Amino acid sequence: MTLETISEQKCFGGVQGVYRHDSAETKTPMRFAVYRPPQAEAGPVPVLWWLSGLTCTEENFITKAGAQRYAAEHGLMLVAPDTSPRGLDLPGEHDDYDFGSGAGFYVDATEAPWSAHYRMYSYLLHELPALVAAQFPMDPARQSIFGHSMGGHGALVLALRNPDRYRSVSAFAPIVAPSRVPWGEKAFTGYLGPDRAAWAAYDATALVPESGWRTPILIDQGEADTFLDTQLTPEVFADVAGHSGVSVTLRLQPGYDHSYYFIATFMAEHVAHHAAALTERLGP
């Protein structure tokens, strides 16, 4: 797989890079960011995947979250993909911020014309991890995932559907029940069609009872988030998870909104949450 280097900069003793490749899943060029901590010079390191929210690219996370410092301290690689395919100009793709370009919702679309390209779930589960493992010093046996808003939704779905792949999951202001809120209803109708039964495969609240997830889930939510009551409803997920025996720590943070100021404030604790799981010895 050919990899094009867009940029690389020294950062906290490691390297922050941005790269591009031609994706077989989306049939478009895809960009993604990788932070290699200084420990990667000695050999493979654990990887922590970040999924961004609506309208974002890989750039938002690497320039605003401040995660590289903590990744360097814990010896973790950070990988941040884009949020959708780019450059297609499908009908209506750029009309709204919450559907189409920048809003892939981390699903494999089944409705035309989206089904040919909007395959972010498979891209993140199969294609991009294989590429990163082939090109960077990543330890495939030690992976965790987190994200924000739409990306928090994606992180929870990928983790709950693949509990043997990821050791831990966390989220900032995630869309936890997309089948019940306007953002999710719009996206799922467009990408997956009107049959709500098909939506359950990408709804964390629907997935958690039978997921078999074993490690505690950390969720931070700003109480001043204007989307809290209409789009996010994290207490719905926490309640269902609790009744299903899945441990969720839901922290409501007074005064914080939906922005990267909120994310940066609690980033150190989320990276530490994942570092504890990624460095834990498993088995005998």
Catalytic residues: 149, 225, 258
What is the full DSSP assignment across 71-130? HHHHT-EEEEE-SS--S---TTTTSBTTBBTTB-TT-B--STTGGGT-BHHHIIIIIHHH
* Amino acid, single-letter form, for residue 151: G
Residues 175, 140: Cα–Cα separation, whole Å: 27
Residues 184, 251: Cα–Cα separation, whole Å: 23
Is 177 in contact with 203 (CB distance < 8 Å)? yes
Is 245 in contact with 155 (CB distance < 8 Å)? no
Residues 269, 220: Cα–Cα separation, whole Å: 10
Q: Which distant-in-sequence residues (6+ apart) come within 8 Å of 13 by Cβ?
A: 37, 38, 72
